[in-house]
Amino acid sequence: MGFFDNLKKRDSSPGKTPEKEEFNELPPAPPGLKKIEAEKPVEMPEYYADTEEEKNVFTDSPVQEDVAESNAEIIKDDRPKISVPDSLPDIDIPVPPDIEEIPFFRNAAVAKPAAELPEFAVKEIKKGPVFVRTDEYSGMLSGIDSMEGVMKEGQETVYLLKNLKKNADTVHEKYLNTLEDIQKKLMYVDHLLFESMK
């Protein structure tokens, strides 16, 4: 190339500058690309097979023949063809019965009349002073006195039961304390016996 030749010339003669540098002419520009017409349809490239086996893949394929035969067997239909008539026969549609003609069944339990409530005699309250006989009044007083005595006896029995419970609790607590004391003493005796046996 011209550029590298000039470099060689400079290197061969150091200290001298060339009077005129020579450059090779550039090649002419390529012709402009033609514009693609919009109306022209785009053609798809054809498939070019390298070998004969690849050419026969889509033509002499036994798989395609088997698929075609199986499709033909599926399409075959041995069922008898049904001919559809042009007009359908008239069908008699039954008319629903009237609501009035349907019998009405009344529930027997509902039809029974309700039982009448018993009537209670209302006592008339007499207004005015109430007179009580003296013998009945004395009996009432004696009954009230006996009721008061029973209530007092009940209160006394409740008080006695509370005292008994308190006494039982104190006795039980003393019993537990004595048992704990005995247990401690037994443990101390066992400890002394084992220490003496060693």
Tell me the pLDDT tens digit for each residue of 38-61. Answer: 455 556 555 555 556 555 555 555
The DSSP call for residue 77 is -
The DSSP call for residue 14 is T
Tokens of 160: 């006695």
Q: State residue 122 phi and psi, 5-degree precision.
A: -95, 125
Burial track 4-19 (b if 16+ CB lie within 10 A, e otherwise): eeeeeeeeeeeeeeee
Predicted confidence at residue 182, as pLDDT, reads 93
Predicted confidence at residue 34, as pLDDT, reads 52
The DSSP call for residue 115 is P
Within 13 Å, how many C-alpha atoms sit on residue 78's CB side?
1
Q: pTM here?
A: 0.27
- 94-131 pLDDT, tens digit per residue, is 666 565 555 555 555 555 667 777 777 777 777 777 77
- 154-189 pLDDT, tens digit per residue, is 999 999 999 999 999 999 999 999 999 999 999 988
Q: Are 26 and 47 in contact (CB under 8 A)?
A: no
Q: How many CB atoms lie within 10 A of CB 38?
A: 5
Predicted confidence at residue 158, as pLDDT, reads 93
Rounded to the nearest integer, the mean pLDDT of the chain is 70
Start-to-end Cα distance in the chain = 121
Encoded amino acid at 13, one letter = S
Predicted confidence at residue 128, as pLDDT, reads 73
Cα separation, 144 vs 13, in Å, equals 161
